[in-house]
A = this chain, B = another copy of it.
Amino acid sequence: MSTTAMKDEDPRPALSRQRVVQAAIQHADSAGLDGLTMRKVAEMLQAAPMSLYRHVSNRDDLIDAMIDVLFGEIALPLGSAHWKTAMRDRALSLRDLLARHRWAIGLMESRRRPGPANLRHHDAVIGKLRSAGFDVEMVAHAYSVLDGYIYGFALTRMSIPFDTTDEMAAMAQDMFEPWPANDYPNLAEFVTDHVMKPGYDYREEFEYGLDLILNGLEEALAG
């Protein structure tokens, strides 16, 4: 059916901006932002490095496009739900996104050329808050503290993956090993008594702070 090939299987479908961006996201997910090289992305698509530049003007443009795809994946607060549950769902959705795409944490909020999905997302969030009774100033407060917390949590707690408690313990061991024991008694107590406990899950930790902030905003809105 294709105009370019009548054969049953085309081993190399045509390049396109979308395919380049998708491949780049997939590679960044597994290799990180440093591992994201034009040559690797080209290899994934079985193309020559320079071919990418027909669809992407340079590496920065590629990253801009990748980020906008991610913004499109965040759940938008569009329904008629209460602002608090809408913001909560949106926060969890964004946190999950940042967990899937750790390389994006420092990039989502610093784009100089935000894409349409980016703008649409912010527009929807602001709209939800405005229609819930937040005046413009309160929207600024709420957005600032919520996004600050969400991105900051991702940055500080999810930047290194702890899949098992054992990995965690090993890492803690490595961190303390070069230094004399008992130099940091409070830190040592904290690590042994809390972080290394089997039940530790950063998901619960995230929701504790999130609810603390949402409750604070609710009080401020009412007061």
Q: A interface vs B, CB < 8 Å?
A: 105-106, 109-110, 112-114, 116, 119-120, 122-124, 126-127, 130, 136-137, 139-141, 144-145, 147-157, 159-160, 171, 174-176, 178-179, 183-187, 189-190, 193-195, 205-206, 208-209, 212-213, 215-217, 220
Contact = CB atoms under 8 A, between A and B. Distances in A.
Secondary structure call for the A interface: helix
A209 B144 contact: yes
Contact of A212 (B105, B157, B179, B220): B220
A35 to B, nearest CB: 15
A206 B176 CA distance: 33
Contacts of A145: 149, 208-209, 212-213
Nearest to A215: B216
A17 B209 CA distance: 40
A151 B147 CA distance: 11
